[in-house]
Amino acid sequence: MTFDQDSLTAHFGRIWPVHNDAFCELLVTLRRQFGGDLDRMLVLAVIGSRTLSQGRIDRMSYDQFMDSRRADEPAPINLQSIADYSGIPRETVRRKLHDLERAGWITRRDKGYLVATAKAAVDLEPATRATMRYLLAVVGAWREAISEQKSGS
């Protein structure tokens, strides 16, 4: 059985509480990692989605993800694109970018395009591990629900 909308709907009562608990834990961890500034976290997440988009990361192991030697060029993104996509005001995005640059978590490339750095991956490893725990919890809840359904429990 695949994990899709029908499966999620059928097993919602088993999956949602696990998701909610794990998601709260993830957000608390992220909030701590970003000094309480979830807008800064979101700005970096948007940049990260371009730096390591699905087509660039889909065959990477965790160790490869953490390796700073990546050959691919990221998809371009700039301040205005981040503001438009996230709904965060442009001036707020500008301040968050300044904070992220000062932390060494992003760098500017040609034409002002922004890229997440290897330092961000290292410094934010606890957040990445929290994300992995979140994903394991949700997938595990779905697998348990499917297993019980198959066994007739």
Q: What is the pTM of this model?
A: 0.84
Q: Name the one residue in this structure whose structure tokens are 């442009």.
A: 90
pLDDT in single tens digits along all 153 residues of the chain: 677 888 888 889 999 999 999 999 999 999 999 999 999 999 999 998 877 765 667 777 888 777 755 555 677 899 999 999 999 999 999 999 999 999 999 999 877 889 888 899 899 999 999 999 999 999 999 899 888 877 775
In the chain, the domains with their CATH numbers are 5-151 (1.10.10)
| Burial (CB count within 10 angstroms: exposed 0-12, middle 13-18, buried 19+), residue 82 | buried
